[in-house]
Structure 1
Amino acid sequence: MSREFQVTVDCADPEALATFWAAALDYVVQPPPEGFESWPAALTAFGVPAERQGDAHAVVDPDGRGPRLFFQRVPEAKRVKNRVHLDLRAAPDAGPEDRMAALEVEAERLVALGATRRRRVEPDPPLVGGFLVMSDPEGNEFCLD
């Protein structure tokens, strides 16, 4: 039996982080439930106070293949390296010569969206194909590989 799952990210600004990751992954902000024109309308109908309506946002794969990403507001700031992070497969089929160049192009796009470049790990065959360590706008680490 396969199970559905989502990836949950604790953060300070769920809407901003959801917007970043939607653009980074070619995902979309999850639409409101059927019968509602907007999330504020749905949340108001569900009894969520106006001051709490920005406490969570989600993004989904428009093709329905990838997991849902859920961003929830938490009071504490990020303090240490993530124990779990996302790897964005930006060049899964690229040959050794083209791989790092493709990753560099994707890194530039993500930096323009608000990511920060951390470091480059050079290829070290046969086990390491080379990758870039990045962080999202709130400092959560991820890799381009």
Structure 2
Amino acid sequence: MDMLGNREILREIASGLGDWRKLAQPIATRYRVGGIASAAAFVAAVAEVPVAVGQDPEIRLGRGFVDVALSTVDGRTGGRWVTPDDLELARAISGIARAQGLIAVPGEVAQLELALDTADDKLVGPFWSALLTGEPGHVVEDTVLDPSNRVPNLWFQRTERHETPRQRWHLDLWLAPEVAEERIAAAVAAGGTVVDASKAPSFTVVADLDGNRVCICTALDRE
């Protein structure tokens, strides 16, 4: 599989794929639609575009919008990666959207992942895979990936063994880069604090008034 790195993907987005944003695994976009009929027409047109093996688009219809996420599933490991085929499909989908007069609002895309501190992800991974997906074998490297995306991904952050209590869970909220600072500011205005911005814009750690932490993540400054 010809897997692309974040820097390559971001260059493509900057040079002609402005409808799309890179999230944790996929590239994603959102289009405004006038109603279910226009949404169905758009999805039907997208369904006519040829796709490679393992490349089926993830499409979600909601009130006034259609979300599309693209990645290719590695048939051997179950991992999800963006490939040149995904970029070509993104170009085709953007062309269909323009032809149908749809407006892209990529700043509204988001992806939520769960992160669990553990000293031994090989030990606990099968449990969480079985619990979340129904099968113990859906652990890809350090992440539980539900094949049908019913639940958020769960990834294991390696840590030293430690005594409890300690916050071992946190959320990773992936956003379009242009809205991350605005979201952080909104969280701070609602009583939160910025705990660590040293890795921004890749990720910024913020906390609520009880000290519970969450990472606001973007694809910027990542390989």
TM score, norm. by length of structure 2: 0.24
Query: Larger relative contact order (C-alpha < 8 A, sep ≥ 6)?
Result: 1
Q: Report which of the two structures shows the higher radius of gyration computed on alpha carbons.
A: 2
